[in-house]
Amino acid sequence: MKPADKSPARWIRAPVRALTAYHVPDSGQLIKLDAMENPYRWPDELVEQWLEVLRAVELNRYPDPGAAALCARLRRSMQVPEGMSLLLGNGSDELIQMLALAVADGERTLLAPEPTFVMYRLIATFAGMRYQGVPLAEDFSLDLPAMLAAIERHQPAIVFLAYPNNPTGTLFDTQAVESIIAAAPGLVVVDEAYAPFTDASFMSRLGDYPNLLLLRTVSKMGLAGLRLGLLAGPAEWLREIDKIRLPYNVGVLTQASASFALDHQDMLDAQTAQIRRDRAHLQQALVSVPGVQPYPSEANFILFRTPSGRAGELFEALKSHGVLVKNLSGAGEALRDCLRVTVGTPAENATFVDALRRSLDTAARISGGG
């Protein structure tokens, strides 16, 4: 008898073997402007109050599986319409995975415009679904005819629309989104991860369409370390998706911490308002940098195109000046030569702009032979 093949190549699915694990770079001592995080910490006195809350948490007990108290706070904070249900996840990533697993059968398609949040494609692969990307227009707006044609052709079980979009910062046209929801044969999930940084939302539209669900996260509010996301929509959908949820997926420390933070939402809102103001200043600064093309953003980051063929060089130069941004140039033709910078504190933003100017000046001297 031949020895049994016990290797990963024999048992791990080929589509999974073809993937590259999601990589998070070590920022070390660099100014970290690569991950769309809120740059502001809590005041010391609030940290002490939070620690008092945590001291009362019973770590020897399982958490409330439905997180009822936290759901009530989130419902008020996110202005979830009456009659809509909530489902919580360990970050919105887990909820995206639950959605895909709930509808996957090997022949069904998950569809999204591209470029967009990379986890839609990855999770479709994890779930054994077909993935179909539809290129955005040159200005990163929705190509509605192409989206409608793809929906008609592929009959997707689920369509994801990041609103605003990551990594472009684009806020898609409302009527275009409505047309996609109406045309889609299955679910349409509007992913509002960056809701704190825009005035636009489909939250109030839940219930207007039988196939519309909405994703939110507390990460961009300044609570990225908690890993807490929510899915809102009609109960008939969420009852089925809840069957995929692993028991006790939101731990006691997350539930207690998020509830405490939402009791102090005025502070979080003030930080968000500051980031929105700083985004406008950073956008203006980038416009004034020769050779750089920043794109309009309704998120807490700005995508910008660098001189042709220079993205990798500038990315490394910025690191040498102590600033870490996101290099997206290798993520497809639409993002060729593009870098993405998170809006930091005013001091961090100024350091970044100065480093970018110096890096471009150095590159220009080298290319000019001076």
In sequence order, what are the residues at sequence separation of 6 or more whose Cβ sits closer than 8 angstroms to the Cβ of residue 244? 98, 101, 102
* Cα 345 off chain centre by: 20
Element of type H or E holding 318:
helix 311-320
What's the whole-number mean pLDDT along residues 185-213?
97
Spatial distance between the Cα atoms of 2 and 333, rounded to a whole number of angstroms: 47
Q: Is the pLDDT of residue 21 over 80?
A: no
The answer on pLDDT for 370 being more than 50 is: no
Q: For residue 9, list its beta bridge partners.
A: none
Q: What values do phi and psi take at 219, rounded to 5?
A: -60, -45
pLDDT over 70 percentage in the chain: 97
The pLDDT, as a whole number, for residue 20 is: 79
89 - beta bridge partners? 229
Show Cβ contacts of residue 316 under 8 Å, excluding neighbours closer than 6 positions: none
pLDDT at position 32 is: 96
pLDDT at residue 73 greater than cutoff 80:
yes
What are 107-155's pLDDT values in tens digits?
Answer: 999 999 999 999 999 999 999 999 999 999 999 999 999 999 999 999 9
Instruction: Please report, for residues 201, 288, 359, the alpha-carbon distance to residue 366 in angstroms, rounded to integers and kept in the order given.
Output: 47, 22, 11
Residue with tokens 């794109």: 295
Q: Cα–Cα distances in Å, from 221 out to 86, 195, 327?
A: 19, 9, 24
pLDDT at residue 153, as a whole number: 98
Q: Which domains does the chain have, with CATH numbers?
A: 8-42+266-367 (3.90.1150.10), 58-264 (3.40.640.10)
Give the bridge partners for 294, in sequence order: 304
Task: Determine the average pLDDT of the residues in 330-341.
Answer: 93
3-state helix, strand, coil in the chain (%, to 5): 45, 15, 40
pLDDT of residue 116: 97
Q: Which residue has the higher pLDDT, 331 or 223?
A: 223
- For the cut 60, the answer to whether the pLDDT of residue 364 exceeds it is no
